[in-house]
Chains A and B, each alone.
Chain A
């Protein structure tokens, strides 16, 4: 019984989410009790579906960029030519984590203007850290005998990287990407304070007009997205680990 219950629960959440963002008006009676003085119960200043897709697109673009840069950096500082940068890159990652997202967002505005760009910058910077950290851990803790075998088989540095190091590190790097996506999904809502089109718009509209129904629907959509994406990426991670022969233990 235990095995199929979580899967069923996730499927139910997914279905509910899809139905909610495509035809939110069906849920009006549920949210109506939260509103006062006949205020609208369902967000009416734009389509929830479009906002959700824009939210996801912002997170996707930022995560892809962060993954490319973070993995490239981790590869660079673990090669002999870049090993000098290893300690510094570690401290920089630690320092970077102390910058609050709101500060990054607000400080990016004078440089790039209002809208989606400051949000992308903040999400990119925030996404970098977990991915870089995990990639670094993975690349510096590869089993020594495997690396030696690869060298003994006459593989060049490039071949070792592409055929041995990266595939072996993939599960741990994926774990970093998963963390980064979940953080970004929630952080993207703050982007709406600088006029980015995300689900934060719904929440902020609710805060401004004192309408808990808006806050609740915005918050729940983001939370459901985060839980589902987290689970989906965990499944991919387990699949990658099994292919690398690490899942058996």
Chain B
């Protein structure tokens, strides 16, 4: 029998071999800002569990290396990821001396590389399975539930990032809700203003180039500058417009961040509305006119439904971009997860950076998966209608 290797498997096995055998699994630090000491798998875990983890990881790497059925590769990647997720928590408890509240245990490069390698394997399997949109959302829900179970059960409580969380749990949720409000609120504003503006640009050709050029130029202004530039005008509005201060408009804080995100969001929404409407087949419009539809009926019943997937693509771009950009709001006192990122950078406390960065990445990632699924669903529905 000839043994056949999987090309991606060779890459994965190489990463796993390096990460499991040569790189540190966890870092131990006497307190939160001193440099840490690296611990490999066998020193970071009780002996039996260390050997067990090595065995699981190596077995999964062999499954990846050889040409194996997809279902086996799926099982191997999921088993390895679960083992890693559970055992890094065990390592936290094992390495922390009893009763010591200053010591910090954090996942080290070996752990992150192993997670990366097996996520790569999982991503490859999921791509090859060619899942339906609903199934992809289902996988996302399962993954979220698994992480939630690990968080609630307290098995990660001994890790440094959760120690940072424990000491600022209240502000974490306050910043989280500010972050989501900023990202979603500015998106809602951009949709309310951007879609009618896009329709107007589609109907009135003279406006189109001008509006799109202005929106393009706004995109070139660096985010931190745009956030900063809005401080002065909004401060002026707060002082001089009656009632403005009462609804929360202030020079610094959430208001300039909101306006900046709104301005950045306009271009993708307006541009995609214009492109989507321009792509509506002439025959559909002619038929609608022939049936005696008014302009308004034509817009709502024919053009919008046909342009919807393209407009949604614009909304997806905006949402993912806003979730990332909202981190910068922290620089001007606008709150959000960026508060932890910049505090962490300032104190060189990387666990604090992670406390801000990981939820941001997770949110952006989840938003992308969900909206991609919705876009695919609306696009398929449209195709079904067309062929019917």
Contacts and interface: CB of A to CB of B under 8 A. Distances in A.
A99 B220 contact: no
B361 A103 contact: yes
A21 B320 CA distance: 35
Interface residues of B, number: 48
B331 A92 contact: no
Contact of B123 (A82, A88, A97, A223): A88
B328 interface: yes
Interface size range on A against B: 35 or more
A189 B225 contact: yes
B320 A200 contact: no
Interface stretch (B57-65, B75-83, B227-235, B276-284): B227-235
Interface string B322-345: 011101100110000010011011
A91 B127 contact: yes
Interface stretch (A65-73, A104-112, A133-141, A146-154): A104-112
Contacts of B223: 186, 189-190
B295 interface: no
B232 A212 contact: yes
From A106, A189, A194, A227, name the one whose CB has the most chain B CB atoms within 10 angstroms.
A106
B4 interface: no
Interface stretch (A40-48, A163-171, A201-209, A241-249): A201-209
A199 B220 CA distance: 14
A204 B344 CA distance: 17
Given A87-B127, A216-B229, A103 B345 contact: no
A99 B361 contact: yes
**Binding site of A, secondary structure by majority: helix, strand, loop or mixed?**
helix
Interface of B: 7-8, 109, 120, 123-124, 126-128, 217, 219-226, 228-229, 231-232, 320, 323-325, 327-328, 331-332, 338, 341-342, 344-345, 348, 350, 353-354, 356-357, 360-361, 364-365, 367-368, 372
25 contacts: A97-B368, A98-B320, A98-B324, A99-B364, A100-B357, A100-B361, A102-B328, A103-B361, A106-B345, A106-B353, A109-B350, A109-B353, A111-B109, A182-B220, A186-B223, A189-B222, A200-B222, A212-B232, A216-B229, A218-B222, A219-B229, A222-B220, A223-B221, A223-B222, A227-B217
